[in-house]
Amino acid sequence: MGLDIKYEDGQTPLDENESMGLLFKTITTQGELNEAEQLNIEEAVEWTLRKKFEADNILSETFCNELHRKMYSGVWQWAGTFRKTNKNIGVDKYQIPVALRTLIEDCNVWIDHQTYPEDEIAVRFKHRIVSIHCYSNGNGRHSRLMADVIVSHIFGRPVFTWGAANLVKAGEARETYLKALKAADKGDLTGLVGFARG
């Protein structure tokens, strides 16, 4: 029996090879997968709260990959490695390292020149990294945790609440979040920053 994933609007489907990277063949439903991923993600969140990271460490390809690995290594073989397939979203798979390096350079400039308010810098990073779509799965959750790490460790501000809701499941919070993402895609990050803090 294979993995039966029901994708929500806005989620990127895994291909067959990516699905084969599931570490526990006893997981067969979306609910079981969500539970396993959530337990792993909670451990990663605790890791980010226990450690102190400097801006130079956070704003690096190494940290981005390590955070994704911490979030998913208990569930997926390919956790922490860039995707090897193209998706309906994101840059071409071969452009991921270059796009991520450009984002990191841009973010350093935003911080050095105080180009945007602190919350907005973190949310802009989140928005850009999810649009690059570095990984086969978990890009949205990874991007939100990256924003939390940036805003708390670099700027010393409280982590975001992200609407204090489960954004993986369909519902009003997810709809509001997706609407804010679409506005951000058009250059207006006001709603996304507000949602992150709301």
pLDDT in tens, 75-92: 999 999 999 999 989 999
> Coil, strand or helix: which one is 24?
coil
Q: Is position 142 within any domain?
A: yes
Model-level pTM? Answer: 0.92
Indicate the number of domains in the chain.
1
Contacts of 52 (CB under 8 A, 6+ apart): 153
pLDDT at residue 9 in the model: 58
Domain carrying residue 59: 16-197
Q: Is position 108 within any domain?
A: yes
pLDDT in tens, 14-68: 888 888 899 988 888 878 888 999 999 999 999 999 999 999 999 999 999 999 9
Q: Is position 1 within any domain?
A: no
pLDDT in tens, 149-194: 999 999 999 999 997 777 777 788 889 998 999 999 999 999 999 9
Query: Can you give the CATH number for the domain in which 87 is found?
Result: 1.10.3290.10
pLDDT in tens, 105-136: 999 999 999 999 999 999 999 999 999 999 99
Q: Is position 26 within any domain?
A: yes
pLDDT at residue 113 in the model: 98
pLDDT at residue 6 in the model: 63
Residue 1 has pLDDT above 50, yes or no: no
Q: Is position 71 within any domain?
A: yes
Q: Is position 10 within any domain?
A: no
